[in-house]
A and B are shown apart, each in its own frame.
Chain A
Amino acid sequence: MVEPLLEVENLRVEFFTPSGPLCAVDDVSFTIGRGEIVGLAGESGSGKSTIAQAILRILQPPAIITGGAVRFEGEDLLGMSSAELDRVRWSQLALVFQSAMNALSPVMRIGEQIADVVVAHGQGTWAEALERAADMLTLVGIDRDRLRSYPHELSGGMRQRVMIAVALVLKPKLLMMDEPTTALDVVVQKEILAQIRELKDELGFSVLFITHDLPLMLELTDRLAILYGGRLAEMAPTSELIADAQHPYTRGLLASSPALFGPRSELSGIAGSPPNLGSLPSGCRFHPRCGEVIDRCRDESPELLALGTAPRVSPHLAACHLLGAAS
């Protein structure tokens, strides 16, 4: 089997708050293959952004990685010194943040902000860097004359494209995107997503896409992981997840998006509220909201198990006691 680009193994992140540690990411494992688009979906507090920040090791205290391993092309990212990390970070793995409005400096021209990345990584002189910045802008669909613009002179969609240019200028192998289009209008969102797909085909990077927007995920990703309360509830190739969701939470999410066409039916959504990390329920974290709860769910946390018996490259995994009961 080909080595995956990124391996996350039993990752655990805790927030050390005055009222005791909160486990935001608990025993999460997944891989991303080369050229693959993997989605991480979850609600607020599910740990999806924390995972991306843990992979890039930019978590700030009180958040601390307390267990697990993250391997990028076989190299352990968590064991690296900060000098080694500087070599890999951004040149190999880059992150596009949710809010481009806050991520760009308001007092620097956008060309300088892109070129800065190149120079900081010692990949050229300032003049060369500006030339590369201009090429990047063209690549993300912004006129190169805009090099001298300030962020406030650009629309939200254009600023998000600049962020993508900043992330891609060193040609990373993995692009992580944390809610990159949530603040944008659907029309702009569609343009940007089409562009990311195009760039991916051209430059050959992998994508870890993070959002709470399930319909968007279904359209974009090859494989999809559903997070709930810091744990993986289900993971499968996207088409398989749509057709054959196993976890009651996944099914609930899929049934929570109203349709644009077809017969109108009343949707039930999911009862209750997402868990509070400070007072996580015992057993399966979803059990207080689950309509199919059985006794075992209340005391015993379900393991993430593969469906079917034949070994597969990208198996369908789900963490639910009902699956064990059925087979």
Chain B
Amino acid sequence: MSESSRPLLEVRGLCKDFSEADGLFRRRSRRVLHDVSFSVGRGEIVALVGESGSGKSTVARLVARLIAATEGEIVFDGVDVRKSEPRRASLVYRKRVQMIFQDPFGSLNPAHDIAYHIERPLLRHGLAKRGADLEAKVHELLESVGLSPAADVCSKRPDELSGGQRQRVAIARALAVQPELMIADEPTSMLDVSLRIGVLNLMQNLRRDHGVSMLLITHDLASARYLADRIMVMKDGKIVEQGPSDELLNDPQHPYTQRLLAAVPGGRSPGPEASSSEPPDGATVAGTGSEPAPPAPTSQPSHLETSTCPT
């Protein structure tokens, strides 16, 4: 495969066991990810959607190498990152893959001003020299995420900013090292409604202007569709369905995806009439699991139901 057609990130057969208490002294391991495989292309935004406990954040933390996988391969730009460095993630990987966390209140240090948060990665990765160069780079980054005038923002502490502004700081910090892949774990779920779209638009612009690929972890199908080219639906540690966003939403194959869609307020049907006539227990779609998929096009389908076992 040539350099350009190769996906940026390829995850194959990823499994993760967590150890949990079993009685007072013994521990047992519980598998939370089962054979997860997917890829993220260059400049592509892929959303991983699922309910809490489905394992979506675990995938994010594995790819960011905050925790180690039990089995499987994480191939980034053609190199299996687990084999290349079995013990600790390298500075190089951290520069190419950055993560944005859900809680902008917890991810910034309340004791430091905003400038400090942006300066650190720049200095750590040797991307700027202390002095005027550093200050200019910090200002440029803050302006690029819509925090202006940057000079005012620099001297503020996190508690002086709104949630949306803090999340922008977190994005600027991730952007500081010019990453190729950004992993965003529920980046808007703790923000006020009126600020969410602003952050989603900012992420869209980063892809457009810098070609950053993104893995978006969310429970919100509507924002997944707004931002992502492709959506993957995760349940109980497995990816049960994936496909191009609109295709997946308009024609969900897996019963769990159907259930998820039916549960979104104002979701399934365009008119208020139809939505109220929906059965109240639309959540328990029974029997659809064994339904054969509609006649598939003869060419390879772009929209795959990756698991046939509805649980």
Q: State the total of A-B contacts with C-beta under 8 angstroms.
A: 104
Please determine whether A256 and B196 come into contact, CB atoms closer than 8 angstroms: yes
Question: Nearest B residue to A274 by beta-carbon distance?
Answer: B192
- Interface residue from A187, A213, A259, A260 paired with B193 (Cβ < 8 Å): A213
Among B116-124, B236-244, B275-283, B299-307, the one that faces the other chain is B275-283
- Asked whether B192 lies within 8 Å of A212 as measured between CB atoms, the reply is yes
The interface size bin for chain B is: 35 or more
| 0/1 string, B185-211, CB within 8 A of A gives 1 | 000000011111110110010000000
Within 8 Å by CB of A185, from B52, B164, B194, lies: B52
- Min CB distance A251 to B, Å, is 11
Does B107 make an interface contact (CB < 8 A)? no
How many Å lie between the Cα of A256 and that of B191 in the bound state?
12
Contact call B198/A269, Cβ cutoff below 8 A: yes
Query: Does A117 interact with chain B (Cβ within 8 Å)?
Result: no
Per-residue CB proximity of B6-48 to A under 8 Å, as 1/0? 0000000000000000000000000000000000000000000
Q: Given A252-B194, A256-B196, A269-B196, A187 and B265 touching (CB < 8 A)?
A: no
Q: How far is the CB of A243 from chain B (nearest CB, A)?
A: 10
CB distance from A298 to the nearest CB of B (A): 20
Chain A residues within 8 Å of chain B by Cβ, number? 40
The stretch of A119-127, A132-140, A143-151, A214-222 in contact with B is: A214-222
Given A186-B51, A216-B265, A274-B162, A267 contacting B226 (CB threshold 8 A): yes
Instruction: Contact check, B264 vs A194: say whether CB atoms are below 8 A apart.
Output: no
Give every chain A residue within 8 A of B282 (Cβ-Cβ).
190
Contact A261–B201 (Cβ < 8 Å): no
Residues of A within 8 A of B223 (CB): 258
Please give, as numbers and ranges, the residues of chain A lying within 8 Å of B51 by CB-CB distance: 185-187
Return the contact of A219 from the options B225, B246, B265 (Cβ within 8 A).
B265
* Distance in angstroms between the alpha carbons of A258 and B222 in the assembled complex: 6
Q: How far is the CA of A261 from the CA of B266 in the complex (A)?
A: 11
Q: A266 contacts B272, CB within 8 Å?
A: no
Q: Does A239 contact B (CB under 8 A)?
A: yes
Query: Contact residues of A with B, CB < 8 Å?
Result: 43-44, 156, 185-187, 189-191, 194, 197-198, 212-216, 218-220, 239, 252-253, 256-262, 264, 266-271, 273-274, 289
Residues of B within 8 A of A (CB): 51-52, 162-165, 192-198, 200-201, 204, 219, 221-223, 225-226, 246, 249-250, 259-267, 270, 272, 275, 280-283
Known: A189-B263, A190-B262, A215-B266. 10 other contacts (CB 8 A): A43-B192, A156-B52, A185-B52, A186-B265, A190-B263, A191-B281, A218-B266, A256-B196, A267-B226, A269-B201
